[in-house]
Amino acid sequence: MPQLSYVHGASSKPLIGQTIGKFFDEACARHAAREALVSRHQGVRMTYGQMREQVDVLACALIRLGLQPGERIGIWSQNNREWALTQFATAKAGLVLVNINPAYRRSELEYALNKVGCKALILAPSFKTTDYLEMVNDLAPELAGARPGALQSAKLPELRIVVRLGAAKTPGAYNFDELMTPPSRDELAALQALGEQLQFDDAVNIQFTSGTTGHPKGATLSHHNILNNGYFVGEAIKLTPEDRLCIPVPLYHCFGMVMANLGCLTHGSTMVYPSEGFDPLASLTAISDERCTACYGVPTMFIAMLDHPRFESFDLSHLRTGIMAGSPCPIEVMKRVVDQMHMGEVTIAYGMTETSPVSFQSATSDPLERRVSTVGRIQPHCEVKIVDTDGRIVPRGTPGELCTRAYSVMLGYWNDEAKTREAIDNGGWMHTGDLATIDDEGYCNIVGRIKDLVIRGGENLYPREIEEYLYRHPKVQDVQVIGVPDAKYGEELCACIVVRPGETLTQEEVAAFCRGQIAHQKIPRYVKVVDAFPMTITGKIQKFMMREQMKKELGLQDTKTA
């Protein structure tokens, strides 16, 4: 009987049975003199001991504003010191931190704040070309005439408190730095007593999943979910108090706040923010100047650093490890990261927001071929099965939907029981929507999204496989393969390619490169050279937008089905 596609992460390392606040206090005591955070664009450096003091000041201030355990507080900001302090202070105060995507606009902000009933919002004045304060005032014009902490808004009925970053004043809002006044002894004692009442299964964070159709859903995560996931991700790359992690990924996403911030906290490592948003030059400079030993990023970030004209001028010799995740990791890019960035122990991680996020991760000791061709093996204390469309576990090596069951599975989608039940079945399995295979040694390979699967003439084609082959072409810098409508076959393949600087590439060149190397049905019918791909702020490619663009450009219509 064939071996089935089920794996579980047996481990001698126990799960952490503490709240984030309790663990934070103990970690800061253990590593008090060590550097905890470097925010280079702000000129900020603080030790773990100093961070503990500032977090306690902010936590007491939030309680002083009248915020009660379990209430939701939004944060809408780029990467900075205030983000990190807010993450830990809200956990200590028993609040639920709601991550607001920096790319959101008015309607998305309104939806997010109202969906989860945010009572407070901490926001940056602006980010890049977006004026956050202007959008808040548009939605809540009542703010200008309100007393700070007493907002009554028609469109944002739950919101009472607005806190802005920066030195300038905004009518109706508190200033973040004004809240940072030393608490009394009684306030600190009350904070400590509150910490004893909180439970690690309490909700601590809400993150909105990217909605390709309809509204985003608020994945609700507990202390237990994210503290443990941060810890085991850090364990996989062997973080120690001597490590310094470059964090160019956004904090509003699990990659930043869980894998990076909590990964560092649980190991006494240093968090290094190179800039408020990703900038390849700032990241390279930070890695060099701060002697970083690790770096996180999505593939597009690593590509941008590797291809920066000044890349060769930076000393990256201290780099040892890191994680490439967030979207499929091209094999050729992975090899360049190992060879040119000295990240010989770099790993691949796979997961989703709803699973805190990581379920699979390669090991630093895995052979390079395994690290560049799979997403590794199951994380400790996690289970995964691969199922067919009937929900039955498939044999090893057979593609199917990846389902996860673990400590890391979210509590649910906030105030949306129906969507929660669609995602998490009666057995507690989170259905990811990803197509994957598991081999005989337990290594997982993500072959695509169920919705990205291209069915050409009744045959299933996996864009990821074709992308990996096209990355070998010397003129290809980046590539995404999508399905577009076709009257004869139902769907055909279209390769959207970013070529290397100074190069050109034709459809015939691509076809010639593929002939005799991959099956004829996998050769893209269409090739489009593009400058860039539409993507989310976290670097995830938006293939659904690419499909619509290509349909228009190629004059294709969706095929009718019975």
pLDDT at 538: 67
449 φ, ψ to 5°? Answer: -90, 150
Mean pLDDT of 538-542: 77
Q: Is the pLDDT of residue 24 over 70?
A: yes
Q: Is the pLDDT of residue 561 over 60?
A: no
Choice among 140-149, 345-354, 541-550 with the minimum mean pLDDT: 541-550
d(CA 225, CA 409): 7
List 481's β-bridge partners, or say none.
Answer: 495
**Of 406, 296, 402, nearest in space to 346 by CA:** 296
User: What are the chain's domains?
Assistant: 22-30+51-198 (3.40.50.980), 232-253+266-449 (3.40.50.12780), 454-554 (3.30.300.30)
pLDDT at 11: 96
pLDDT at 214: 58
Supply 294's token pair.
């690790």
DSSP state of 395: B
Mean pLDDT of 395-420: 97
pLDDT at 516: 87
Burial 255-280 (b: 16+ CB within 10 A, else e): bbbbbbbbbbbbbbbbbbbbbbebbb
186 Cβ partners below 8 Å, 6+ apart? none
Give me the DSSP letters along 4-34.
Answer: BSEEE---SSPPP-S-HHHHHHHHHHHTTTS
pLDDT at 209: 86
pLDDT at 212: 42
pLDDT at 560: 40
Percent share of the chain, pLDDT over 70:
98
pLDDT at 332: 84
241 φ, ψ to 5°? Answer: -65, -15
Burial 435-461 (b: 16+ CB within 10 A, else e): bbbbeeebbbbbbbbeebbbebeeeeb
d(CA 147, CA 517): 69
351-391 confidence digits (pLDDT tens)? 999 999 999 999 999 998 888 889 999 999 999 999 998 99
Choice among 109-113, 259-263, 283-287, 486-490 with the minimum mean pLDDT: 486-490
390: left (phi over 0), alpha (psi -120 to 50) or beta: alpha
State the average pLDDT for the chain: 94
d(CA 24, CA 262): 9
d(CA 80, CA 277): 9
42-78 confidence digits (pLDDT tens)? 999 999 999 999 999 999 999 999 999 999 999 999 9
307-328 confidence digits (pLDDT tens)? 999 999 999 999 999 999 877 6
Mean pLDDT of 541-561: 82
How remote is the C-alpha of 332 from its chain's centroid? 22
Q: Which long-range contacts (CB under 8 A, 24 or more apart) does 308-312 make?
A: 308/280, 308/281, 308/284, 310/281, 310/284, 311/284, 311/340
DSSP state of 257: I
pLDDT at 104: 86
d(CA 542, CA 99): 20
Q: Is the pLDDT of residue 559 over 60?
A: no
d(CA 274, CA 452): 34
Q: Is the pLDDT of residue 485 over 50?
A: yes
Mean pLDDT of 424-449: 94
201-244 confidence digits (pLDDT tens)? 999 999 998 654 457 899 999 999 999 999 999 999 999 999 99
Mean pLDDT of 487-511: 93
Mean pLDDT of 290-297: 98
Mean pLDDT of 403-407: 98
